Structures are given as C-alpha cells and as structure tokens.
Amino acid sequence: MTTGDWKTIFVTGGAGYIGSHCIVELLESGYNVVAIDNFTNSVIEEDGKSAALKRVEKITGKKVTFHNCDLLDKERLEEVFSKQKIDCVIHFAAIKAVGESMQIPLHYYRNNMIGAINLLEVMKAAGCFQLVFSSSCVVYGEPKSLPITEDHPTGNITNVYGRTKYFIEEMLNDITAAEKNWNIISLRYFNPVGAHPSGLIGEDPTKKYTNLMPYISQVAMGFKPELSIFGGDYPTKDGTGIRDYIHVVDLATGHVAALSALYRKHLRLRVYNLGTGKGVSVLELVRTFEKVTGASVPYVIKNRREGDISAMYADTRLAEEELGWKAKLTVEQMCRDFWRWQSTNPHGYRSSVKNGNSEK
C-alpha cells in the first residue's frame, strides 16, 4: 500500500496495545511515525523509553520518534507537534477500564475528552486536519438488531468509558459540520485480541486484568486459579455472551487502510466498523484457546454483570467496500498468537524492566 505524499503520522497512545501494533504496520507500509504516550496503559523502562516501542523497532528494523507526553499538557503537546511536519494523526490515547470509569467518572471525562479537545486544537493551529479516531462498538449500546451496521443508533450507553467515546464522536460531527477542511475517519472497534506473531509485543495492561484474553492466559499460566465467566443464562447457543473478536494485527491494518482512504478523498467524517462479522461466545473462545495451546482453563460461571449485553457483532461490509479492508485472521490464530506472547513473556514487559534486562 502506498503512502502517497504523506510521510509522517503522529500517533497518540503509541506505546499501548493497539497503538504499538498499529505502528508496526505503519512502519512496514513506509510511513515515518512520531509517537507520544504518558504510560498510563503501558510500561516505561529505566531509560525513560517505551518497552513496547523498542520491540516494535526490533520487529521492523526502523526507528520510532517518541516523546513522553500527556495530552492534558497542552504546552508540551504543542512543543512536540511543532518539531516536525505532521501529515495525519491517529488518536488512540485514552483510559479504558469500563468498571473503573463508573467509579471515577470525572477522571475519565477529563482525561479522554479534554485530551481530545487539546489534540484537536493543536492540530488546527498547526494546519493538520487529517485524523483517524480510535472509537469503539460501545457507542452502540444495547443492539437493536444484529449484525450492527454503522447507521445503528448510538448514545444509549451504560458506562462512562463508552460515553467518552460517544461524546468525542459527537464533537467530531460538530467540528466537521462547522469547519469544512477537517477530514476524519472514526473506527469503531469490536473486541481486539491476539498479539503480533513474533511474540515480541502484545497486550500488557499495567492494571488488573479485565479483558477476557489476558484473563484466560493468566489462568492457563497458573497465575490465577480460574476464569470467571459472568453470565451463563443469556439467550445464546451456550448461555454465555457473544462478541466479535478481531485479531489486533487485522485491526492495525484497518488503520493503514483508513489513512489511504483519507489521502485519496476528502471525506469530512466517515465511520467504519472494524470486526470480523462473526459472533463467538465466551465458552467457544475458551475451548478454542485450550485446543490450540494444549493448556487447561478451569472456569466458573457467575451472575451476569450489570450493563453487560448478550450478543454484539459487526456488519463489516462498509469497510470492505470503501476501505478495501477485511479481517483475515481466525480465532485460532488469535489464541495461538496471544499464547506465544504470554508464554514467552509471562510477566509482560515488566519482567525485563524489573530484572534490568531492558532491550537497547
């Protein structure tokens, strides 16, 4: 895929799970990358550098320009932005724990929304109006129909994290209506899982493991006694919730496709689902993980959690038609790649930091 005349992509949250995988694909597609992160969801090494991005450089053989920067520090953001000509921004940076967002809502609103406003204002001042926004399927709330298309109603959301994504999308709607030079794609992710096939980078939350795949792997490693499955009485084929799991590498290639679409045409604002279009239950994911890894994952069925829904999966035809993108990797590959990452990095990036074995 050609980069056209765009050379430099500015990536917020570049040291995080999705950001680091996306940077691999950007570098391998010929882009230069300037990344920022404040290490809320990622690991900083003793030399002040990102553990994940060092490994990205090892995978690609290319350098990433990195700055430790918080989007709430607007002066610092302006300083970083002024150091090079930025052609387009991919905005990943956010705090993202659903349960935590309900406990400290003001912290989530301030971080995610004020951070986005600062970014948009700095972009505008610099004359950069090209943006790919990292949104989420949570903006749809309880599905009224399946599979979910991009014109499905949004806003009926049960958690604060989801509302921050929804409100930012509304801001993007408003600025593209008011100012015609903005050119924005909002990508609504379904459930990213897996890891880079090299096993060098993967999901490494610095807080409590709340996402399903890391939790499964932690049980398989013997770090946790059992997997808690919340809800065994949903109206689904096995009683457990159904989601659309997408390999993080497929998700990353979706961002490269979005950049290409923005370069080809002034879209103002377009929204696309990124998923596989296939629903997989929690028990199906557990059994597939056990099958491809040979590991055992004991589990216990618990009561449903408030706000959880029975099933959600995407209609991905619009992304295929307009971006030329389609998820290719299977659930088996998602499990196999994540297990390779987890089994070779049992404590994630933190083990090398603690032991003084930081990669140079």
Rounded-to-integer distance, Cα 8 and Cα 6, Å: 6
The runs of H, that is alpha helices, within 140-207 are 160-178
Whether 161 sits among the annotated catalytic residues: the reply is yes
Provide the 3-class DSSP secondary structure of residue 149. coil
Cis peptide before 147 (omega within 30 of 0): yes
Angle at alpha carbon of residue 334, lines to 328 and 337, rounded to 5°: 115
* Cα–Cα dist 264/279, whole Å: 32
Integer Cα distance of 257 and 268 in angstroms: 16
Retrieve residue 343's tokens. 């089994």
Element containing residue 158 per DSSP (H, E):
none
Return the closest-CA partner of residue 214 out of 198, 192, 184, 197.
192
Coarse DSSP helix, strand, coil percentages of the chain, rounded to the nearest 5 percent? 40, 15, 40
**161, 215, 245, 349: which one is catalytic?**
161
Return all residues near 85 (Cβ < 8 A) that are at least 6 apart: 8
First to last CA, the chain: 30
Rg of the chain, C-alpha, whole Å: 19
Tokens (6 digits) for 97: 């724990």
Q: Which amino acids are annotated catalytic?
A: 161
